[in-house]
Homo-oligomer: A and B are copies of this chain.
Amino acid sequence: MIEGLPMRFPDGGLPPEVRIYEVGPRDGLQNEKATVPVEVKAEFVHRLRAAGLGTVEATSFVHPKWVPQLADAEQLMPLLGDLPPGLRLPVLVPNSRGLERALAHGCRDVAVFASATESFAKANLNRTLQESLAMFEPVVSRAKAEGQWVRGYVSMCFGDPWEGAVPPAQVVRVCRALLEMGCDELSLGDTIGVATPGHVSALLAGLDGAGVPVDRIAVHFHDTYGQALSNTLTALRHGVTTVDASAGGLGGCPYAKSATGNLATEDLVWMLQGLGITTGVDLTRLAAVSGWMADRLGRPSPSRTVRALTGADDRGGSHQHSHKEQ
């Protein structure tokens, strides 16, 4: 790794600190083909926390029929141990039944998964957008009454495979509805990875104009078209300080046609570290965790940073060779 002083933008305009919301064990593993034993999942969460990640989404209390990869949520939770104060271990709860299961396991942070578009609400939840929001209302109310911290995912915030580009005003409406229900934080998802920086800027400006405080907003970009980091940089310049990422880029196999392409936590940390932004994450240690997980999954990590760091031993030599006498 090149050691050097990080360099901030001369004109400032970036936050001193960013909170990374790690989604690897849930969003990542949910989209991997390989089945991972529950003990390995627990070890994965422990190692991620030991690498400095203070928020790790652990699993989903979804019906096992829909997401067999996470059917072991009940077995996983007791293996995760006591949660120290200040750390979060959210779980996804798709509906009231999921919430009750999460509460029964002593969870204190939950997330619901809403859609910004009619088509995705229909495809994913078999409801209209309005009906889907009505379904979440009692879930969020009950969670808040139980003292939970509640995150609302908003998927398809930029593009939707059926509807094309999604107008910012439509996303703003869904965001306001979720905040009014009581969500503490919203995660703006570019579920199919089509966003570009101008669109990100337009949506964040729209939310600001509607009075949504930027400290309630997280961004969740996918690298399907390689755009996740430049979109993230744009969001940081708008004052966003919570960024979702998946250790090792889990959930986005580089050669799968249907790769969801989660932003790799390591690629994000490399950028933030270079910008002098504090994350609390030990990058070398995190890349080692992702290398370990890639071995469990039997394939290389799609994260460029993980590949560069874990193959770092031979870099000097190979560069010397490959650039000789250009």
Contacts and interface: CB of A to CB of B under 8 A. Distances in A.
Q: Which of A193, A257, A302 lies at the interface centre, i.e. has the most chain B CB atoms within 10 A of its CB?
A: A257
A230 interface: yes
A83 interface: no
A119 to B, nearest CB: 10
A94 B325 contact: yes
A303 B197 CA distance: 19
Contact of A271 (B2, B161, B230): B230
A86 to B, nearest CB: 27
A128 interface: no
Contact of A323 (B2, B4, B191): B191
A325 B3 contact: no
A197 B304 contact: no
Interface in A96-134: 113, 120, 123-125
A2 to B, nearest CB: 4
A10 B124 contact: no
Nearest to A126: B325
Contacts of A15: none
B197 A323 contact: no
Contacts of A260: 319, 322
Interface stretch (A34-42, A141-149, A309-317): A309-317
A169 B322 CA distance: 27
A322 B258 contact: yes
A223 to B, nearest CB: 6
A326 B62 contact: yes
A10 B226 contact: no
A225 B308 contact: yes
Given A229-B226, A316-B162, A326 B202 contact: no
B30 A226 contact: no
Contact of A2 (B2, B94, B164, B307): B164
B159 A10 contact: no
Interface string A287-302: 0000000000000101
A264 B226 contact: yes
A326 B94 contact: yes
A303 B226 contact: yes
A261 interface: yes
A196 B230 contact: no
26 contacts: A2-B165, A3-B164, A3-B165, A4-B164, A4-B165, A6-B196, A10-B202, A14-B198, A66-B326, A92-B326, A123-B324, A191-B319, A197-B233, A197-B275, A225-B270, A226-B264, A226-B267, A226-B271, A226-B304, A227-B271, A227-B274, A230-B230, A230-B271, A257-B307, A257-B311, A259-B307
Q: Which 7 A-B residue pairs are closest in the complex by CB-CB distance? A: A4-B165, A196-B274, A258-B318, A257-B311, A226-B267, A66-B325, A7-B198
Given A66-B325, A227-B271, 19 more contacts: A6-B196, A7-B198, A7-B201, A8-B198, A10-B202, A14-B198, A30-B326, A67-B326, A125-B325, A191-B319, A196-B273, A196-B275, A197-B233, A197-B274, A198-B276, A226-B264, A227-B267, A229-B230, A233-B233
